Chains A and B, each alone.
Chain A
Amino acid sequence: MESLPLYAQLINLLASVLLLLAFAMLAQRRVVTLIDLFAAQGLALACSTAIVAYATAQPHLYFSTAITLVLKVAILPWLLHRLVQRLDVKWDVEGLINVPTTMIVGLVLVIFSFNLAVPISQLANTVTRATLGIAMATVMLSFLMMITRRKAIPQVIGFLSMENGLFFAATSATYGMPMVVELGIALDVLVGMLILGVFFFQIREQFDSLDLKHMEKLKEGEAE
């Protein structure tokens, strides 16, 4: 077994933690724990970005780390926690399919994205290219979470964690996106979250629930 330098080992470890957290989010039933897991995912992402920045001496990645830390570990979880408290939906337990089945589907997705990533990562020449597969798997798993959840808040958390995966993919394939793009995305996510927060209240006002299957009806009073 050839040994990698320590920073590469640490990045591999954090990538695995990211993947594990994606699965934990997929299996998690409580909204409050889901938000904490999302914050933990952000923390793992920030750590791995910082290590990449240190190992490759790319100062702009430190800014990405700072943005990730502030936005995804502090502000977004805080916003979500407040939303959950105001909406009083701590025990949002519904999924469309049961947990073991979701996990098996998740495993298939992981195999698919690992295979998909192999030719791409062979083209990249970064130290972190091996972790591209994990980044893609995280995106896919977040997608799966958005599909299998019925309620609005877990879907939004899935969307945010998908953004985590994309960010990780960018770091592992090309040492991050240009600063302007990163700032733009960060702002988009923040504003998107605020707007979605307002949406939650509107949805509940209209349908008395955050279950999105009510939105499949086109007109008010059609079903009655």
Chain B
Amino acid sequence: MRLFWSAPVRVRPGRRAVELDAERWTVVNKERLERYSLAGPENQAAVSAGLTSGDWFRSAVPRKRMKELMRRSDHPAIRDTIIWLGLMALFAGLGIAFWGSWWAVPFFLAYGLLYGSTSDSRWHEAGHGTAFKTRWIDQGLYQLASFMIMRDPTTWRWSHTRHHTDTLILGRDPEIAVMRPARLAKLIVNFVGLIDVPTAFGLMFRHAAGRLTADEADYVPASERHKVYRTARIDLAIYAVTIGLAIGFRSWLPVVLIGGPRLYGALLLYFYSFTQHAGMGENVLDYRLNTRTVKMGRINRFLYWNMNYHVEHHMFPMVPYYRLPELHEQVKGDLAAAYPSIWAAYKEIIPAVWRQLRDQEYYVRRELPPGAPPYHQPAPITDGRAMPLATATAA
């Protein structure tokens, strides 16, 4: 299989060059989507290569210590959720109070970021069932956060389950945010939800009609699908009422409060989540090769619910977010040094993703500290370069 961009294309200047460039990008895009599709050939290739449900590297943590780290408590998550919802209520209230003046803008921006970005980490943690000791509170937050982030709670539960089974395995992981080569325009406009929101509504209508996409059909069991259809109908009804209120009152306010924040408040969602895996290894069975841990300050860690400890989270998804800093201390001797800041992570991510536009074999590989267990086998071909699976298996 030829790598994207691997063969230089000679073009003449002028209109013909533009046409050739457009043709080349059409081919690139088609091949890229095919490689990352769960309904494409890479899925079976990953199964055949033994990369699915693989034996991943995990640090050795004594059972007694692991039990301490896994133990659940309602207190931290209830406290944090009250603060989170309280801040949203406060900012929304102030925004409503100043509605009609520019003073409303900063309050709605703050409300929007909490609604449209930080609901992602609440969705994530509650989806794992680790946030609270009491199950119904966890499930309640999961449903609320799923609605806010515009993800169907059932399909995304299964999607995320697959993401943990086959993290960054091509044709298997439905949650690879940054492909190779990256879909840059899509990534950029999605900072204001311009891809996610129309996609989410398209899926809601599809689900409400009793249908799944081909990718969803690959990971959502038949017995769970009725939940998808039911939730889509409920969500569409809520949005219909919201829009009806906006029309009835001749005001944007209902949309600014419900649904709209997923557009104007989405900035932090991808700002945080790109740090998880962007530019890292694919088709590897070691989280130290495909995942980052990034040190963040208290405010960012509150907003992101400690998901910056992402290597640790993937190794031990049983550990609740409020114990991840302790888990990090426990296993850091096995990991490459954590990135000291978001800025440090992006100093690596942006050049890596840029380089992958032309060299899809490139990925970020970091040095492990002395004494750390070596990178897990099977090692990727050609010294850790994550080659497209079809090429790798043919080699």
Asked if A pairs with B, the answer is no
